[in-house]
Chain A
Amino acid sequence: GAVVSQHPSRVICKSGTSVKIECRSLDFQATTMFWYRQFPKQSLMLMATSNEGSKATYEQGVEKDKFLINHASLTLSTLTVTSAHPEDSSFYICSARDNPSAYNEQFFGPGTRLTVL
């Protein structure tokens, strides 16, 4: 099946620093990737839809200047958390479809656990 990787798996940073998370589709091309945030014991909340070659589409309430998304190629999307603060500590997960059809399943990356001190 389709495989999505994320790097790093865990990151601890100081408040005020920026953190970049990579999401890669390993064996397929993904024109669209999705970024989610999951707080402990809560559901997945979609942050943004990452489109290759164009600007990301952000969900309501998500600051685009704080969560920078770059989808530079058909296999790589990056999420940069700028000027991170302790409240940004969360589990960040990306996903992708291996078929542009809106009705296909999404394949999720293993997630990145961010802790901001």
Chain B
Amino acid sequence: GQQVMQIPQYQHVQEGEDFTTYCNSSTTLSNIQWYKQRPGGHPVFLIQLVKSGEVKKQKRLTFQFGEAKKNSSLHITATQTTDVGTYFCAGNDYKLSFGAGTTVTVRA
């Protein structure tokens, strides 16, 4: 079945700095979704990427879908304390296959 790898598992960031989390799939994806889970909370949908090479932005967040539709990335600029949480990518072939997640902590 579909396997989605995500790195890094942990990201400790200085407030104001940028960071990127990466996802790679063992198979070509129809589309990929990104979710954020705050500590003690549940996953909340961020965005969906469908087209090869697609790039979408949400304020300080930039999402990319690779040309081969097998990898994706999330780049956050000027990290804030509100960015704390775990970011999951999920390959979508009707059911979601979640990556391991990148847990982000921010030092002020």
Contacts and interface: CB of A to CB of B under 8 A. Distances in A.
B95 A34 contact: yes
A38 B29 CA distance: 23
Interface string B95-108: 11111110100000
Contact of B101 (A43, A107, A109): A43
Interface of A: 34, 41-46, 49, 93, 95, 102-103, 105-111
Contact of A41 (B50, B95, B98, B103): B103
Interface of B: 30-31, 33, 35, 41-45, 48, 50, 88, 92-101, 103
Given A103-B48, A103-B92, A105-B48, A42 B100 contact: yes
A56 to B, nearest CB: 12
B45 A107 contact: yes
B96 A46 contact: yes
Given A49-B95, A103-B30, A44 B43 contact: yes
14 contacts: A34-B96, A41-B103, A42-B100, A43-B100, A43-B101, A44-B43, A44-B98, A46-B97, A103-B48, A103-B92, A106-B33, A107-B45, A108-B43, A111-B41
A102 B95 CA distance: 8
Given A103-B30, A103-B50, A43 B41 contact: no
Contacts of B42: 93, 108-111
Nearest to A93: B42
Given A103-B30, A105-B48, A110 B95 contact: no
Complex A-B, nearest 6 residue pairs according to Cβ-Cβ distance, in ascending order: A102-B94, A105-B45, A108-B42, A43-B98, A44-B98, A108-B43
A43 B88 contact: yes
